[in-house]
Each structure stands twice: as C-alpha cells, then as structure tokens.
A and B are shown apart, each in its own frame.
Chain A
Amino acid sequence: MELKKKAITFFTDGAIAPDRIAESIAKHSTKKNIGAHEIFLGQVRADEINGKVVDAIEFSAYREMAENVIAGIREEIIMKHNLVCAHVLHSMGLVRVGEICLFVFVSSSHRAAAAEACREMVERIKKEAPIFGKEIFGDGTFSWKINQL
C-alpha cells in the first residue's frame, strides 16, 4: 500500500493557539541530544495609525513562493547552526490583537546556537517571505502593513 505523503506547510488558518505551542514543546522530550530551545512568538499589536487603533491583521501570502522561501531559510539555518530541529508556523487570514501570528521554534545542543538561529530565522522570514498584512481598524477601515527592517 502506498502511503500518501502529507504536504508540509508553514501556514495555518487564523491565530496560533497556545495549546499548539505547548504540544510542540512536549514532542521534543524524546530528542535526547537537545540542550536548548529558543522560541519566538509574534503577537498582533494594537498599533495606533493616524489616530486609529489596529483591531486585527488579515494575513495573505503568495503561498507557493512563501512556502519555498521559508523552507530554504529553514534548511540554511539548520545547516549553519547545526540545529537538531527547527519549526516555523505563520498565520493566514484574520488574527486579532493579542493573538499569536508567528511561532518559530529552534532546538540545539547548546544555547548560543539556538538563540542566534532563532533570531536569524525570524529576521529572514520577515524580510524574505512574500507575506502581506492588512491592518484592520475598529471602524472597519484598513491600511497595508509594511515591515520595518
């Protein structure tokens, strides 16, 4: 019988639930060569723009390219820092203020590599992945978010 290979994606619909992050941490207890985890969580902030406060961000992406870009970044960083493993999850669609929209989780034998790799992964995803964000205000109007790099 041929097994269907599940397509790997770095995207999930809506906010990233804290339970999902906890489950991901728990799964790593079997990997005995890990000595340090580093986790980044991006949260939607109630920015004020021209007197209006952001209520939510609606994410979209050029999915096919974004998946390739993130896969490439992940592979490069795993090799560069000799990581045990690395995981990336980014929201698509609507994420409200206070909810998590990006989860980066890297694991290494030692803390220095984990910390540096995590930071590098976040910076590169923000800079290189074709992801777009519509900042939606309380009154229903919106503006397009641009990352400050």
Chain B
Amino acid sequence: MRIELFGILAQIAEQNVIEMNAATNVLALRELLVQKFPGFRNQKFRIAVNLLLVDDSHALNEQDKIVLLPPFAGG
C-alpha cells in the first residue's frame, strides 16, 4: 500500500511516499512501519485514512489514501 509522509517522518524515511506490504489495520501498519524505519519508534504520529484521523483499530484497504502525520505546528 502507498503511504504519504510529512515533516520529521519524511525526513527520517528520506522520502515523501513509501510503498508498504498490505496491513489489515492501523496497528499492524504501525508495526510494519517501525520495523522498516526504526527511527519511527521514538516519534509520535497519527494516521489519516481517506482524509480523516483514525485510531489503531481502523481496518485498512489497499485503495485507502494513507498519510502519516507528525505533531501539528500551525499558527
């Protein structure tokens, strides 16, 4: 599945878009992400699916638009 990254997460991964193996839900995806990018382990980040923030139990589909969001800093 295609995943978009922002801020410090894009910096750690050294790319703005990554391709990951399919994960059934957000928690499973988080585990795959920290395996692939150990630097993510110390980062707090939320996940948006199809433009909405979701929690770890949210089920994922291959076509979902998945985006990793580090802490917000607007204003």
Contact = CB atoms under 8 A, between A and B. Distances in A.
Contacts of B51: 64-65, 68
Interface residues of A, number: 28
B32 interface: no
Interface stretch (B19-27, B33-41, B54-62, B63-71): B63-71
B73 A131 contact: yes
A102 B69 CA distance: 21
Interface string B1-35: 00010111001000000000000000000000000
Interface stretch (A1-9, A74-82, A105-113, A122-130): A122-130
Interface residues of B, number: 15
A90 interface: yes
B12 to A, nearest CB: 11
Interface of A: 42, 57, 59-62, 64-66, 68, 90, 101-102, 122, 125-134, 144-147
